[in-house]
Structure 1
């Protein structure tokens, strides 16, 4: 093959010149890309070369990098969201002259507002979910082309600058969840192109009225100002927001009436004004026909529900509960085809339910409790079923999840479809005059049935064994009759069973197959007869047993003594023989009244003494013989002991002269003597004092083991009912079992004090080890606190406490919220293993994922999560916040509150972070020389994450534990 040759000499000069001219743009483009690549590689280096940007290299075009977008071969967009960046953004990023989009969201970027005001072409800036601090630049209007600005979930503070009102191109402005502490700038009303505005959850803002200037935003479609410390009235100018689709002003302190024109905004689809102080009537003129959700709950609204709501053919949710509304429910509401949620409970509504309610919609939640409604239930309440051309039948219910009709004046029978709607979860009918019989079949998902205080009659059907998922059955105070079928005992999931106040008769089933989850059992005020089943003694979780006011006979089964029952009531029966020795103490003083044939050997109950030769069970005979010897000797020693007590314990006697009123409530299988506990409440045994009471170390004179006793004085005397409720709630907590949770052995209480008996923790509280030297007023008796708690022990304590809290949050059918996590409630055993203690403020949530309402703020100052200041809704994240404070204590050695600096530890820690202090500047001086720097940094940062203002930004305890365990492993 001949060799091909090419020579420029053969090309005309004009052609060469043309070729050179045509190649110039490509050379310029190539040079521009090279320059931009150099800029980006420099940015990467200043960011610490994060592994997430490994594709950025000198051998490829930046236009090929996943995080880079190019337009016409120049970089126009950088997306660095979720790249674990923890360094400041260099100003050189603005050397990219055509940069339009900069997304830095969801990282750990510290420092002040990034130095990017020279990015002159920037239109989209996303800084959300970082750790930016300080003010927004007063000259932010230098970014004159900015159209989209999101600063959500940072730590920006100070005023929102008036210069934002000069960003005339803005259509999207989100300033949610920051530390702004000024007032809302009225200049925002100048942003004529603004479509989306969100300034929610800025709780540090000064109490401010809604700027009336916002009413000038003609293009505004979305306004979100939840929890923004708003006061005053909603401006009438809001009636001019003709483009508005979504309005959320909830969780504020707004007063006055709802502007009359608000419900005439034709584009409005979502209206949320709940949890304010609004009053007056709901506007009657309804022209916002596109409304899908209305929530005006938890206000002071009066008057009727507007009939105009019936015109809203796209409405899915109507929430008007917790107001003072009156009148009847408009009939045309039942014609809304899209209605799924209807909640009007806790008002003063009257009349009957519209007869067609549920006929035309897929109704899911129907909640009208706590009103004055009457009449029978509409037959179509349970939602659409069958074909469109077929008449509705009661057996075709398909949609209902919850129905709550309690405490009204309803009557008649319950449509069978209510019981069998396939997705039904709760049926709450208590406090009415409903009649009829119990259904033989329930929906497969139904877990809670409350029908107490009605007129249901007839027997419990044998088919009740098919109610397999029922967890709560409350049928108290009806007219049910017949025997208890053995099939009832097969309900494996039942935790609360209340059948008191009915007309049941006959004997109880002798065998109990599946009640392993049962906590509460109340069969009182019936006509039961025969013996009390021994099988009740085999129920591991039973805390409440009430069989009073029946006709039970025979002996009380000794097997009941195996249970640690906080509440037991067998009074007003025909029982005979000796009360089991386990119940012969003051805690059960009222448990056996009106049983004239019962007797006791230990003289602590107001019952006759048993004969000289009582018949004992083999199991307890030795114990009784020991008791005989003890009482034989007691007469001889009585005078001696009395004299000693008078001289030695004069102070105790004055404080506890009413000791006969003390009641013991045991929680775990621990043998201790309450008289020994009471006599041990002396100054010699006092090991600590706090705001809630005193802590004693007392030796158990039966086992020789040490016990910790916390004495809490009630601020008021509790009536008998409240005392029972208190003991029952604490009894639930008494069944918790975990190696990182202190065992609550029992409670001894009277009307003015409660004594909580715990396993003794030799090293006492974490608070003592961290702050004992600083607490000059505390009374400490142990010299161990002169020692330093080293870093490995601190890390071990953090892990152990996290284990305990995670167990509480995740391993029960309803999460247990401690609500008072603090270093003084983290106790240490001999090996410095941490255990969570003191559940006096704990509360079980009703249902997984649904936060519970608390009537008031609980906890300890310095540890209280900030959301307590603006909402009654709490969940596990309040414990996470408090645990974050503990982590900061472990790292810094500082107390949660510092009087000298007039700020709490959390504020101080965040200040150090904002000022970019090194870990050596914040760590406890006592461990600075021997701690692992990486581990300490991890715990400090984790403490900051746990104490973020927004609950949603805090990790779960599961995530916290994973980080701690990984941190521990990295240190080995």
Structure 2
């Protein structure tokens, strides 16, 4: 045998390594096989998960594919080939969480926020043993948080916000010792939260805001808890806003060294702000909307990182500390609605890029700071209602970032900086109530839509270049020294809703070509020297509700067209008008509208002017005879046209010009022919802006429906088409006992019919307002009284319907025309919301949507909607508040016995501290439920607040059964002067 020789040295050196190669290859094979097995298992879990959620379209890509691993799917993150994160955010998931989700053994993060997941807290997640991050916010979870939630011991992030969890926040939450982030805000907790939370030493974010149902409690005050609170060195973000917290703010909060953001706003805390602050890292301090007193701490001027300081709506006094103005990071300063005095520190804006500066409604004096816009970022400026004086700095005119400037009701003098008029982003400029002078500018910023400059000393003419102010919505220049004529160019502004030029020196005649004023609702040219006739074209302005031309030199007849307007206020007194007052204006609503016009006369003595003499009566009779002759002739013409149309319609089988199409939304016990045959004059029970409403018996059993007909001789115009489409889209898809039921619709090219369930007791307004009491056709006596229990039942029913629309529909529905005539009553006086012709669908809850024109009914319109056409749920809240005021006072929303609408009238009464019982409807005043009635009146007050954010939601009102008590005790409600809601009204425009 050959002799075996040793391998060469270099081979011997590598030999041990070669010997391990088979082992390494084998281990790699095993590892790959194990990883492949894990991936297969996880893919099966994902497939089952998708199936359990009924295959949502957002997860269509969750299918096995050779081209990519599931680790590459956007909702998934992996480490070493295994799933560690599931980010299933906003995927419209409507089903509960299945237990097998925890078969993903390496899952550390689960984010299911912004879905529609129902049920109680998913205890199945206890089996996810490695979970450290859990976000279930913005879903529909309800019931208590489990008392054994501490079984998820490794959790570092727990976010349960914006659900319907109730009862207490359990103490077991505080036993999750590793928590860094805890969000429990905006739920339905009606118990307490554990003070032990303040002992979590690793906690960086604690958010408990917007839990209004918590049992009122003080912030932690005892020594043990405060000691723990001082140990929370990691805490950076603390939000306790909009909670029923009482007592004072403990100084230990300001001792948290790493605290960066502190929010204790809109609570009941009082007394003074702690004067010692060791939290040097504070960037945000928001203590607004409380009852805080005393001075602003001087130490705030040492917080070099402070970005936002919000102390508005408190009772703070003293001066603004000088040091605050020198802070290098300061951007947002809000100190409005306090009792601050002294001067504004002149260094504001010099050392930091201010974006927002609001010190309105205080007692500040001295000059306006010259360097507020030094950083070139200032967009919001509000100093109104102080005692500031001197001239406005020229630097203000170079601030191109400004959006809103509110300087009204101070003592400013001199001219407005020229550049301010042209600031390219400016939308609102409020200068009223100062001593400013100068002429009106030739040009304005293109975005400027609101100018208030009344009660100043502006002079000169309104130039013809005013035609370039195309976006102007409100122009108030009353009580100045303006001269010349009202230029025709002013009448071409299409967006103008309010024009106030009273108490100036204007002269000449009024322009007649005013067709562009389609949006105008208020026109006041009083106390000038305007002459000539009143243009009859004013009577064709569709939205005009207030007209004041008093104290001028107008002459001639009052155009009868003005009688066609639906005016809440009319004043033509102290002119040189003559002749008889138009018949439609001869009513008690206008009895003070015509004095001091020696040539005017009326046929009734209650008009407070001369009664027309015999010659005038003869003239009237002659005119009447002529009118009768013309009317007869017109009637004959109309009769011929009708006969022709009937003949034509018979050839077409009906009024419809093509085969009608019936679209049912319910099971019907009638046919379209039953409906079409009932469209007769005797069946008409009402009419509106879009057509007539019929009461039709559809079968031998006496079943009755209400039919709203939208028709036109030509193809329906775009507006009516949109109204029809909106009503069908909404009512055809929602079902609720307090929303009127749409049975079907019938349509063809020139006619549309909406067939509803019939409501035996008609509309609420006919019961509340005597002059509109139900007609005999409804079978209800005119003298019946709507007692308080029924009124409360109606209010609760309407609240339920609106609450459903705002909160429970897949997309929130904004009605936009809530009013008593759109609340219908069945035989048992159950209320149902009706007439959705103006409603719109919103993509997201709370999101504001702009409409091209303001729609709705005057007296019910929220102020921000009337001026900006910005729409969200709070405009319905305002309108519902007006309905509550109608139910409790019996007054109409535009009561012509008063100079203001019902909401303003009620606010004024409330603000004066007068007894509420004095304004309760006489029909329900002697009632054992008077306290309850007064409570509902107060709720109507809160709902009609000028600032939308201060109005309760429909959900809150329904949950509290329309009880105002939960909204009492807060200074923002109980001690609110009218100015509280007047100031920031401008911030919402």
Q: TM-score, normalised by structure 1?
A: 0.66
How much does 1:620 deviate? 6.0
Does the 8 Å contact 1:413/1:436 carry over to 2? yes
Going from structure 1 to structure 2, the CA distance change for 1:439 and 1:691 (only over 3 Å counts) comes to same
**What is the aligned partner in structure 2 of residue 273 from structure 1?**
287
Going from structure 1 to structure 2, the CA distance change for 1:206 and 1:531 (only over 3 Å counts) comes to same
How much does 1:539 deviate? 2.2
Q: Secondary structure at the match of 2:421?
A: helix
**What is the aligned partner in structure 2 of residue 965 from structure 1?**
none
**What is the aligned partner in structure 1 of residue 522 from structure 2?**
520
How much does 1:367 deviate? 0.9
CA distance in 1, matches of 2:557, 2:944: 56
Does the 8 Å contact 2:877/2:943 carry over to 1? no
CA distance in 2, matches of 1:502, 1:289: 51
Residue 111 (str. 1) matches residue 119 (str. 2): yes
CA distance in 2, matches of 1:41, 1:825: 52
Residue 83 (str. 1) matches residue 88 (str. 2): no
How much does 1:883 deviate? 12
Match of 1:365 among 375, 380, 400: 380
Residue 162 (str. 1) matches residue 177 (str. 2): no
CA distance in 2, matches of 1:575, 1:273: 58
Going from structure 1 to structure 2, the CA distance change for 1:574 and 1:223 (only over 3 Å counts) comes to same
**What is the aligned partner in structure 2 of residue 214 from structure 1?**
229
**What is the aligned partner in structure 2 of residue 585 from structure 1?**
587
**What is the aligned partner in structure 2 of residue 398 from structure 1?**
400
How much does 1:519 deviate? 1.4
**What is the aligned partner in structure 1 of residue 635 from structure 2?**
none
**What is the aligned partner in structure 1 of residue 197 from structure 2?**
188
Match of 2:157 among 145, 148, 153: 148
Residue 25 (str. 1) matches residue 31 (str. 2): yes
Does the 8 Å contact 2:241/2:266 carry over to 1? yes
Does the 8 Å contact 2:761/2:826 carry over to 1? no
How much does 1:804 deviate? 4.1
Match of 1:768 among 814, 826, 834: 826
**What is the aligned partner in structure 2 of residue 344 from structure 1?**
359
**What is the aligned partner in structure 1 of residue 503 from structure 2?**
501
**What is the aligned partner in structure 2 of residue 133 from structure 1?**
142
Does the 8 Å contact 1:518/1:539 carry over to 2? yes
How much does 1:356 deviate? 3.9
CA distance in 1, matches of 2:391, 2:21: 98
Does the 8 Å contact 2:500/2:525 carry over to 1? yes
CA distance in 1, matches of 2:628, 2:944: 58
Q: TM-score, normalised by structure 2?
A: 0.65
**What is the aligned partner in structure 1 of residue 735 from structure 2?**
none
**What is the aligned partner in structure 1 of residue 77 from structure 2?**
69
CA distance in 2, matches of 1:504, 1:78: 71
CA distance in 2, matches of 1:287, 1:876: 33
- With 248-257 and 59-68 compared, the bigger mean Cα shift is at 59-68
How much does 1:562 deviate? 3.5
Match of 1:874 among 948, 958, 961: 948
CA distance in 1, matches of 2:479, 2:286: 39
How much does 1:821 deviate? 7.6
Q: Secondary structure at the match of 1:335?
A: coil
- Map 1:210-609 → 2, pairs under 5 A: 210-211=219-220, 212=226, 213-262=228-277, 265-285=279-299, 286-383=301-398, 397-512=399-514, 514-606=516-608, 607-609=610-612
RMSD: 4.8
Q: Deviations over 1:288-341 (max 9, x none)?
A: 111111111111111101111122122121110011111110111141340121
Going from structure 1 to structure 2, the CA distance change for 1:431 and 1:669 (only over 3 Å counts) comes to farther
Q: Secondary structure at the match of 1:164?
A: helix
Does the 8 Å contact 1:225/1:250 carry over to 2? yes
Going from structure 1 to structure 2, the CA distance change for 1:56 and 1:608 (only over 3 Å counts) comes to closer
- With 66-75 and 412-421 compared, the bigger mean Cα shift is at 66-75
In structure 1, the gaps of 5 or more residues are 1-11, 384-396, 628-665, 671-684, 716-739, 745-755, 779-796, 827-836, 847-853, 886-895, 905-972
CA distance in 1, matches of 2:527, 2:20: 115
CA distance in 1, matches of 2:840, 2:621: 43
Q: Deviations over 1:887-944 (max 9, x none)?
A: xxxxxxxxx9699xxxx9xxxxxxxxxxxxxxxxxxxxxxxxxxxxxxxxxxxxxxxx
CA distance in 1, matches of 2:145, 2:408: 52
Going from structure 1 to structure 2, the CA distance change for 1:694 and 1:92 (only over 3 Å counts) comes to same
Going from structure 1 to structure 2, the CA distance change for 1:611 and 1:271 (only over 3 Å counts) comes to same
**What is the aligned partner in structure 2 of residue 923 from structure 1?**
none
Q: Secondary structure at the match of 1:238?
A: helix
How much does 1:878 deviate? 6.7
CA distance in 1, matches of 2:55, 2:558: 75
How much does 1:198 deviate? 1.2
In structure 2, the gaps of 5 or more residues are 1-17, 221-225, 632-686, 692-759, 789-814, 843-848, 855-867, 885-890, 905-909, 917-931, 967-989
Going from structure 1 to structure 2, the CA distance change for 1:844 and 1:442 (only over 3 Å counts) comes to farther
How much does 1:237 deviate? 0.7
CA distance in 2, matches of 1:743, 1:190: 49
CA distance in 1, matches of 2:112, 2:487: 65
Q: Secondary structure at the match of 1:345?
A: coil
Does the 8 Å contact 1:524/1:549 carry over to 2? yes
Q: Secondary structure at the match of 1:28?
A: helix
CA distance in 2, matches of 1:669, 1:624: 29
- Map 1:610-649 → 2, pairs under 5 A: 610-612=613-615, 614-615=618-619, 622=626
**What is the aligned partner in structure 2 of residue 389 from structure 1?**
none
Going from structure 1 to structure 2, the CA distance change for 1:14 and 1:515 (only over 3 Å counts) comes to closer
Residue 99 (str. 1) matches residue 107 (str. 2): yes
How much does 1:838 deviate? 8.6
